[in-house]
Structure 1
């Protein structure tokens, strides 16, 4: 009986010891993990938020990101809301749309838009582009970067970022007399956000030649320069010797003097020389245009337009909700 009593405690002692050893083995890695977590919490620091924005080849700052056909905001800073929230009918043609349309002169671009027709020299005045919006004369309702363009000239699109067409009464932004609407061309401006160099060229039938350069370079975080160059020549198809010639350049410079003060200047020049064609006629009764109609073009006939414009802008941000802007422009136009 004594033997049995002695053996039982020995077995119990062995059994109780194993759980304690097992608990000790599990406790050691737990303690190590707790120490490591404590060390990491002491060395942890918060990184600044990194925002990655996807960009396409289109550098138009007014379009929706990744959607070069969709204009988000107006190039006219007087429109403080997005275009979708602006209670007005505004059709916007982005730079990508203009390029892919294959049209270069602004009159050809607008001729393809609904609600706009072109004048053809009524009242004996055939100089420059003449737009008629919704049946109302809009010859003097043409703007460049929000400033009225009084010159009745030939307008090219090589330095155009987008074209904004306002339909309906627009006296709030276009002044008195803009009954049918207004046309506002937004030019390409220098930016410190990106650097790029684009060269575009084309050769085609009817002696078609076109070469353009668009280059933007940020000299520093506060200074940027953008240059646009153009050379173009083409015959009017099936109407030789009628032709069109275009040569021009546009230079824009940006200087951020302070965090609130920004200066922007640009110079624009275009020399357009056309050999005019009086065109043909359409056979009455729904016939087609007569294609063997002779071209009444003499060596002395010409249509020339020379444009030289310089603009200086200053913008000062008073707060997040208010700012002061001033724009000064000097230009000359010569039509013959």
Structure 2
């Protein structure tokens, strides 16, 4: 019944939108190819991006590192999971988490408050599908000047497929290993010179290489674009995304005795997780003239995650058994947000200005209910598991209600001082308040505060092909550094009200080579997370906080993308990073140790050969170095190297690909709780019309 109602609701909204009146097309969905070049499906470089400045800008004009992923290139390998898609991006580590994405950028978390869809924050505990995502932009380093609260590592912005006047339609079918079957319908129609509509739908289901694990994904997203051709544009989009799965949350690799197969799953009968996402987005803009425009983006987002499962566990060498944990949870997250941006271009003397002034307001509610009844059940990992009766849910151990509000004013100005020099300045002020209530005890806590986020960047372009830049920016993370509305709340749970901060200094160069066919970027940075706080005496004085210390990440990143010779294309990069604890009053022994789950080296490189004719192919390598999985640096997760390959055929409107993931069947662990998938194959067929 719920699915039927959701389908009817999606159909109703699509019909309603089709009769109404879009987004600043250039700001949200720019064309994906190099300026002045004919569209090339093998070249993944964008003409411009919006995540770094909220205005459509060429990457070489941005004084900060930004990577762009074209999602279709990853879909060919059967990757629909955001965290898996980010694996191998220089400076990005992914730590599998059944409940969320587990993404770290330059050593710091970027999954609780730093994932966005079309520039709107994706709050809440939920795993996100990429079924309706066209490309992903990853901005490295603090971004609070435009987006507010942030953990400081960076921002991941998913740009969705929306109605356009220049987009075609397509149908894709795919199938592969472990009963992986799915299909996508993407229909874009121009009704007249003023109105275009689009409907994207996707369904996928698959088993896993791990026994007993499976998933089912469903997504429907209608959208409409209206352009009066008099300066007024409006777009509307609704996204229904549902992910159901038997969770793969077994014991960590260091809790499994030698000899247990990586293909062994540990889900109990009846274990499940269901993620539901509903997003309604309106984007209205008006160009007063060719220099000034006003844009209002409104969004309502409802996300929920329910689960009931056994997970993880501790191995006893004495009994040779694993004692798992058990928990159930029902959580929902509702966010309302409004952003009003005024952009303008003008000159003061010989200096040209690209100005952005914005207002933002948001309201967020999170309501988690969790039950964690104790369990003494244990099983032998070498024998078939006979699971006990599922525990009765009973009274939850946590039942909380969190509500937060924030308002912000920000200004950004790109000053073109000359043809060679540009200066980017930005400043944002945020004010926020939140209230948390423990529904079991009636305990309520309130807090409020504010923060400033500055930014400055300089770009020097001695010649058109090379841009040298330097930047410094700062971000803040409220609610005691968590930056989001958390789950826990109790009488003795008194999170610090003071914000924590991050700041970054970065220098680099962005270049075009071979007549503009190949683009590279090189960056050196220092990113510090400071003002980290702790409670010196949490038992006797839970309300007193002190500064614990500082964490610092230093590194270099190199990336390249484009055509290196006739028919030959590359995309990828490499990162060298040292993310360490530099000050820690609470645990002095940790000073000098590496931050957990952060590799010192990682990257990927894909080489594609696409000569004239219908056939093409590519081979790629992804590398992640070893990582410590605990703060004391006593447990190491080994690094891995994985090879992938693809062969494709395209003729007229047809494209068929055969992709092999983990070509050499490497055994490895993606994270401490998730082994990498063995060799798999996926066949895809796409028809464009």
Shared fold (TM-score, shorter chain, > 0.5): yes
Aligned to 1:207: 179
Aligned 8 A contact 1:281 1:290 in 2: no
What is the SS of the residue equivalent to 1:189? coil
Aligned 8 A contact 1:60 1:161 in 2: no
Aligned 8 A contact 1:250 1:267 in 2: yes
Aligned to 2:290: 320
Output the TM-score relative to the length of structure 2: 0.37
Aligned equivalents of 1:186 and 1:72: distance in 2? 15
Aligned to 1:41: none
1:31-50 to 2 correspondences below 5 Å? none
Aligned to 1:260: 231
Deviation at 1:240, TM superposition (A): 2.0
1:39-78 to 2 correspondences below 5 Å? 61-64=31-34, 65-68=38-41, 69-76=44-51, 78=54
Aligned 8 A contact 1:282 1:289 in 2: no
Higher radius of gyration, 1 or 2: 1
Q: 2:195 aligns with which of 219, 223, 230?
A: 223
Aligned equivalents of 2:91 and 2:70: distance in 1? 18
Deviation at 1:202, TM superposition (A): 1.0
Note closer, same or farther for the CA distance 1:178–1:280 as it changes in structure 2 (3 Å cut): closer
Q: 2:170 aligns with which of 198, 211, 236?
A: 198
Two-structure CA RMSD over aligned residues (Å): 2.4
Note closer, same or farther for the CA distance 1:234–1:170 as it changes in structure 2 (3 Å cut): same
Deviation at 1:258, TM superposition (A): 4.3
Aligned to 2:337: none
1:275 aligns with 2:246: yes
Aligned equivalents of 2:276 and 2:39: distance in 1? 37
Q: 2:84 aligns with which of 105, 108, 113?
A: 108
**Which runs of 5 or more residues in structure 1 are unaligned?**
1-58
What is the SS of the residue equivalent to 2:185? strand
Q: Deviations over 1:180-236 (max 9, x none)?
A: 101000011111234x32111111121110111111100000000011111101111
1:240-251 to 2 correspondences below 5 Å? 240-251=211-222
Higher relative contact order (CA 8 A, sep 6+): 2
Judge which range, 317-326 or 74-83, deviates more. Answer: 74-83
Aligned to 1:334: 304
Deviation at 1:137, TM superposition (A): 1.5
Note closer, same or farther for the CA distance 1:263–1:206 as it changes in structure 2 (3 Å cut): same
Aligned 8 A contact 1:256 1:262 in 2: yes
Note closer, same or farther for the CA distance 1:311–1:292 as it changes in structure 2 (3 Å cut): closer
Q: 1:99 aligns with which of 61, 64, 75?
A: 75
Aligned to 1:10: none
Output the TM-score relative to the length of structure 1: 0.74
1:82-231 to 2 correspondences below 5 Å? 82-121=58-97, 126-138=98-110, 139-194=112-167, 196-231=168-203
Aligned to 1:43: none
Aligned equivalents of 1:205 and 1:198: distance in 2? 24
**Which runs of 5 or more residues in structure 2 are unaligned?**
1-28, 307-689
Deviation at 1:281, TM superposition (A): 5.4
Aligned equivalents of 2:45 and 2:196: distance in 1? 26
Q: 2:272 aligns with which of 291, 299, 302?
A: 302
Aligned to 1:7: none
Deviation at 1:288, TM superposition (A): 9.3
Aligned equivalents of 2:192 and 2:222: distance in 1? 17
